[in-house]
Each structure stands twice: as structure tokens, then as C-alpha cells.
Chain A
Amino acid sequence: MLWLIAQKELKEIIRQGVLKILILTVLVLLLVSLVISFSYNRYIDSLHNKSEKESREMWDKQGDKNQHSAAHYGLYLLKPKSSSALWDNGLDRYTGAAIFIEPHVRNNTMFKAVQDSPMLAKWGEFTPSFIMLYILPLLILWITFNIVSKEREQGTYRLLKSQGVSSLKWIAGKTSAVWIITILLIVPVFLTAGIIFGKGAFFTVESFLLLLTYLLYAGIFIHIGIAVSALTKKSEISIIFLVGFWVLTTWVIPKITSSITQNIYPSPLESEFKKNIRDEIYKNGILRHDINHKNTIAFTKKVLEEYNVNDVSELPFNFNGYILQAAEDTNNIIFDRHYAELHKLYKKQTNVYTVSGLFSPFILARQLSMGLCKTDLWSHINFTKATDEYRKLFIKTINEDLIKSPYKPNQRFIRSNDLWENIPKFKYKLPGLKLFSEHYKYVYAIYLLWFLVSAGILLFTSKKIKF
């Protein structure tokens, strides 16, 4: 019986001209967005690869130079794109992708892509996740808003009633029909796109979690749509209510959350953040270039005492390199602590979003989608941490070479150029599932709760409604 109802419902949906056009439109939009997203990612990836390679080539061929001058010449590192970014470009346009590596300071990522075309940035990006999270729910709402109420309006439910169908089976049949359409719309496209565009990296846990995330999101709207249709007497009221729900959860609540977050946990000004670090280094760190600074004097004195000599030129190593590395070691701890605090603040801010996810499944779905596509905040921070680890190694290798070089007061040592090429290249591996589960286990739990509650409401409604 359940299958019969589902079959009847499917036929009805397919025979509706408007719905056929709408389903086709969504399908076309999804395919177009996939192609756009794929070509954009490929362009960005090749640009980043090329730029990083060029920067490294310049570094390699910089000629004979003092090691520290070479270190100041520096290197640019660029963020690679994950192949799963195909579905969701996430925060990548807002984070910047280039980072400059140099001694003494940890830099922030530069050049946010959004600043290159800011005019219409507020309208969002036309990515597959945009279709999945904004447009697909609307299609589902359009299918479901009168799925129950129209039978009541047309009186056809009497026929069913006379057949002895329980309201539970009746609703279950309708729900299965909408589920079948949704699955037929999402799953084949997802699998095909993954195989064609995924470059072999498609068959991962993340990909299937992402598919599950999109399906659950569609499911929440299927359940709520049908429940509202069953509960309202008139289809008009049902559609107003459902569109209101969509606008509230996908547009209003995320924006209000952003405003609340910015006010309860304000992010620091860059100049202030840097000044705090500078001040602390001035107090507790080592200022290599300020030889009259008390910490520099104390450090020099300590080294001289340790090696029992009177002047730095008598030391068995190059003191310039030695104090440079000592400054790195001391000051990096200060940098790391300030950045750790910043990331803690970001975590608090993100938690506000998770809490407002209790009122908006969209916020949760988008976070999960970005997290699984590795275009979220934590993947970005993972990248910046990797670049900083590399920076520490990079500078240390150079300083250690300087330490071994002969020391002449008031004269720079010039290193022959073979050192530059020998410094290991930066290799970045995208974070795995561990980072995702670390940050999103509660988000996923609340998300599942949304799904279960929506299914529960539908179940409850289908038992309660009077024929």
C-alpha cells in the first residue's frame, strides 16, 4: 500500500509540467555550477603552483649573499586547493592564499580573492553547495507545500480513507516519493561529478560524509515541508510559512549570528595585534638589532660567560648567527602564544554559530560542507600553522649555516649560493578526517538531531492528523 501511494505521488509529480521544469532547472544549475567550480579551482590551483614555483626559483638563483640577507629576501608560499573544494569554495575567497616567509616575524596570509571583485560579493558564490544549500530546499518546498493539503482541498483523501489506509501510511508513502526524487536528483550527479572531476581522490570518507550531509539537509526540508502541509488547512498558509522558514534559516539567522559574534567576541585590529606582540618581545624577547637593549646585553653576557671569553669574536662560532637563532627561538614562543589566543577567539566565535545552528540547520550544513571540502577556517589555520613550522625550519637551517661561518666584526659574511637550493621545499598535505572530527563532532551531532527531530515531527503529525 505504501509503495502504491508513493508510486501515485511520483507519477503526479512527474506529470506536473511546472515541476518538471523546476527539477530540470535545478539539475542544469547544479551541472553548470559544477563546471564553473571545476574550472575556477583548476585556474587557482595552476596559478598557485606557478607562483610558488617562481618564488622558489627566484630564491634558488639569488646568488652569493649573506645568509641573513637571503633570509630577508624570503619566500612566498601558496595554499593548494583540495579536489573536494569542487563542491564548496567555503571561506577560501575570504582567507587569502599567499603567505610571506621571512625572519623575525610570523606573517598573516595576504590577498583575499574577494577583494579582487568585491562589488557583488554579498550575493554569494555560484558553487554546487550554493545550489545544494539554497536552491534545492526551495524545490523541495515547492514539491511538498501542498502535497497533503491539496488532497484535502480537492477532497481526494476521502477515496483513500474508504480504502482503509492509515494516515501514517498515507504520509509515509508521500514522504518516500519525495525522498526518491531527491535521491535520484543528488546521488547520480554527486557520484558522476566525483568520478569525473575528483581526480581519483574521490573515494574517501569525506566525500561520502559530504553526500550524507546534503541528503540529510534535503531530508530536513522534506520532513518539515510535508509536516507543515499536513498541519495547515490551506496551501497558501503552508507556502508562506515554509518560505518564511527558508528565509529565516538561510538568510536572516546567519547574518544576525555574524553581527552578534562580531560584538560579543570582537576580533583584534591587526595593528593592535602586532603591537602587542612587539611590546612583549621588547619586554621578554631578544631584539637582535638593538645591541643596547637590556635583554640583548644580558644574553651576550651570558654567552660570553658560558664560553669564558671576553669578546664575541673569540667565540668558537659566528655570534651573529647564534643570536639570530636565539632571538627566533625566544620570540617564536611569543608569536605562537598570541596566534594560539587568536585561534581560541575564533573557536569561541565559531561556537556561537554552532549554537545558532540550533535554530538554523543551514548554518550547520554549511559548516559541515566547508569542513568536509577542507575550505573551512580550521583547514586554513592548519595551512598557516604548517607554513609557520616550515618558516621555523627554513630560518633555522639558514641561521645554523651562519653560525658555522667565520665571524669578522663589522663585516658581513658572504655565503656562496649552493646553500639556497639545499633548503628543503615546502610540502603541504591537506588535513585529514581527524581535524574535521576535532572541530565538527558536536556540529554533526546537532545536525543529526535536527534531522531526527524533523522526522519525529513528521511521524507525530502523521499519527495525529485527522483525515
Chain B
Amino acid sequence: MIKHILYFEWKNIKRSKIVIWTAVILSLLIFLSIHTGNLAVKNQLDDIKKIKQEEKERHEKLLTDIEKVDAGEKKVNAYTNPKTPYMVGGKYGSYDIFKEPEELSFISMGQSDFFPYHYRISVRNRQLYSFLAGDDRMENPLNQQNSNFDLAFVLIWLLPLFVITFSYNILSSEKEFGTLKLLKASSVSITKILLAKILLRFIIITSITTVSILLLFYLYGVNISDNISGISKLFLFICAYTLFWFLISAIVNLFSKSSIVNAGIMFAVWLLLIITVPAILNIVSNYKYPVATRIEYVNFIREATYEIDNNSDKVLDEYFLSHPELGTRKSKNMPFWVYKNALKNKIIKDVSGNFVNHRNSQFNKQIEFINNFKYLSPAIVMQQALDKISGNSTSDFLKFQAEADECNDKWRMYFFPKILRDELMSKNDVLNLPKYR
């Protein structure tokens, strides 16, 4: 009996053209999103290439300048001497680290809109923590506000709407056509019939989605076998997410109101779970665990470094007295503020620990809070899963930030004694610089 019902259902669906329309629109949206996602990743890769090229030119210039100075071809002063540790660790010898996009990054641009994917390791950095650094691109904020049209958006926001239009009237239409009575008269229970009908629709929607995604992955040259775990996770999540929405549909259908009320209720659920709950969680997490804004941090630092900024000589002298290993204070090779800033940065690092820890802990509490309540909205669960697959999740970027901070600290501390001792560096020193990371 159920076989019969399914067979006629399939014929019905086929004739109503709804399958064709769903397939056409959905695969078109998927195509568009994969295309724009790929363009965004390509732009990122181009940026990285440009920065790397610039880095290479910088390093080459440093070496040739040192050769010229050694040969007496170039006249230099304290501001321009390439052999000072300040120039080697800063303007010319600084190096760049990247969070390179992964092969599946185009699925979800995720947090890459808000976190930089590049950081310069340099003694010149005014911002000693990567969370203070700005973006890589001087992006028009209008673009950031609207974010990207990526596959994650299509799957999370739009796919449920297709499920709704495809299934809001499974039972109610039978009722409205008067065929429900015939079904009720059959030997199979209504619940079973409903589940069978839903299962059929679930198979249709997921097949359209997965087939078009797979086809486009192939066309865009994604190496399927290399990314098999990511891709299978993707499909698993698509199935689970689609199933969730069909379940909502089954429940709504069981209450067997009119088609209109069904459509209204299901859309209201969409509105609640996908738009409202995340927006409210966002506000609550912000109110509950406000992250100290970076403006407050700047004021705090200015307060803490008041002494060295305004009594630099005295503070430097005192530091040399308490650190005899640095020898006597000399400051000839570089401008005065280089010595001052080297010590100032050390002081900032020493005093800002508590502030930064507090900020990080508030930040983590926010994340934890959202993670605890994310099950209220399948959209958040899905977004996080897709971000993870594409390597654009919050934790990916926080990890990169921590790495950047570690490299930067090591690099700065490598040059710190050299600057205070007023050393000059040779070509050989430059070639043997440590590379952190």
C-alpha cells in the first residue's frame, strides 16, 4: 500500500513542476554562491601573493643596502642606517605570517570578514597584540555589513525555505482536495503516510543539493579525494539540517490546519530560529560579558607608560642600572626614540597582562555562552560546522592570533638587547636571523 501511495505521490510531484522549479532555482543559487566564494578565496590568495612579493623585495633591499654601506657607496645616518637592529627587525627585515585559505574555504567565508588573515612580525608594530591590529583590506564597510554570498548562506538561510514551500501542504492539500478521506480509509496509518511522503521529499531535496554541489566542486577543481573528510562532513550536516526542517514540517502537518496556517507557522519558525534567536543571543552575550573595547586598552596603556614617555632619559638610565649585563648606556646608532620605544614596549607587555587576560576571558566567556545556547538555533550550529570545515571559524582565527603574538614577542625580545646595546648587524647576522613559526 505505502509503495502505491509513494508511487502516485512521485507522479503528482513530477507533474506539478515544483521539482523542476526547486531544482533550477536551488542549483542556480548554489552555483552563484560557489562562484562568489571561489572569487573571494582567489582575492585572498592574490593579496597573500602581493604581500609575499613585497616582503621579498624588502629583504633584498636590506641586503643590497647593507652591502652598499659596507662598501662605502651609501651615506647613512641614524635614521637610515640599514645595519641597525631597528631597521633589520622592523622596516626592512620584518616578515609576514599568513593564515592561508584552505581548499574548502570557499564554502563559508565565516569569520574572515572580521579577523585579519595576515600579520606582520616587526619591532615597529605599534600594536603589540594582534587583536589590536586592523584589517588587511581597506574594505568598504558597506561590503562588510552585507557580508558575502557564500554556500553557507544558501544552505543555512535559503534551503529551509525550499523545504517549507515543498512540504507545507502535504496533508492539508489532501484535506482541501477531499482525498484525505480516501487515505484515511486505507490500511496504512496517516502518520506513516505522512512520514513516507516527507521521506520522499527529503530524498528529492538532498539529492538536488548534493548532486549540484558535487558537480560544481568537480567543475571548480576541488580535489574530492583529498578533502573527503571535509566533504562528507558537509553532506552529513546538510542531511541533518534538511531533516530537521522536514521534521518541523511533519509536526506542523500533523496538526493538520489549513495550508495557509501551515505555511504561516513554518515561516514563523524559520524567522524565529534563523533570524531572531541568533540576533537575541548576540545582544545577550554582549550585555552579559562585555568585552573591554580596545579604546579603553589604549587609555590604560597611555596611563601606564606616562613615565617613560615623559621622563624617558631617567627611566632608561634606571633600567641600565638594574641590568648591568647591558653595559653602559650608549645611544648613537639610532634615533633616541628607538631606545625609548624598545623599553616602552617591554613595559607595556609587562603591565598589560592582566588587562589582556581579562579581555580574552570575557571574549571566551562570550563564545562559551553562545556555544551553550547554540542548540536553540540550528542556524548557529550549522554556521559553526561549516566555518569549521572551511577553516574560517572563530577558533581558527584565535589560534592564528595567538601564534602571531607568540612570534612577535619572540622577535621583539630577540632585538631588544641588541637595540639597547646599540649593536650594528652585519650581512651575516641578517642571513642567520631566527624565523619563528
Binding site for B on A (CB under 8 A): 18, 36, 47-48, 51, 54-55, 58, 62-63, 65, 69, 72-73, 76, 78, 91, 94-98, 108, 110-126, 130, 134, 138, 142, 146, 235-236, 239-240, 243-244, 247, 251-252, 254-259, 261-263, 266-273, 275, 289-292, 342, 345-346, 349-350, 353, 377, 380
Contacts and interface: CB of A to CB of B under 8 A. Distances in A.
A113 B54 CA distance: 30
B224 interface: no
B80 A266 contact: no
A284 B221 CA distance: 47
Which 8 residue pairs spanning A and B have beta carbons closest together?
A94-B141, A258-B146, A289-B79, A118-B114, A120-B282, A255-B149, A259-B36, A123-B278
Nearest to B312: A69
Contacts of A130: 279
Given A235-B260, A269-B138, A122 B147 contact: yes
Nearest to B277: A123
Contacts of B129: none
B70 interface: no
Contact of A120 (B158, B161, B278): B278
B390 to A, nearest CB: 14
Nearest to B281: A120
Chain B, interface SS category:
helix
A289 B80 contact: yes
Contact of B140 (A247, A259, A346): A346
B136 A261 contact: no
Given A239-B263, A239-B264, A270-B138, A262 B282 contact: no
Contacts of A125: 279, 282
A65 B311 CA distance: 9
Nearest to B48: A269
Contacts of A122: 113, 147, 383
A151 to B, nearest CB: 14
A69 B337 contact: yes
B291 A261 contact: no
Contacts of A95: 141
Contacts of A255: 146-149, 153
B259 A289 contact: no
B388 to A, nearest CB: 13
A78 B149 contact: no
Interface residues of B, number: 82
Given A62-B310, A119-B370, 14 more contacts: A51-B299, A55-B302, A111-B295, A112-B134, A119-B367, A121-B113, A134-B275, A252-B29, A252-B158, A255-B146, A262-B139, A269-B137, A289-B77, A349-B143
Given A58-B302, A119-B367, A256-B32, A377 B143 contact: no
Contacts of B157: 247, 251
Nearest to A114: B114
Given A115-B114, A116-B293, A377-B141, A270 B136 contact: yes
A261 B271 contact: no
9 contacts: A47-B295, A69-B337, A116-B363, A134-B275, A146-B260, A251-B158, A255-B149, A261-B143, A271-B120
A120 B337 CA distance: 42
A259 B367 CA distance: 28
A261 B302 contact: no
B141 A126 contact: no
B115 interface: yes
Given A257-B146, A289-B79, A116 B263 contact: no
B114 A123 contact: no
A351 B29 CA distance: 24
A51 B292 CA distance: 13
A138 B50 CA distance: 46
Interface string B101-141: 00000000001011100001000000000011011111111
Interface stretch (B39-47, B197-205, B412-420): B39-47
Contact of A353 (B111, B142, B309, B311): B142
Given A69-B337, A73-B309, A292-B75, A243 B267 contact: yes
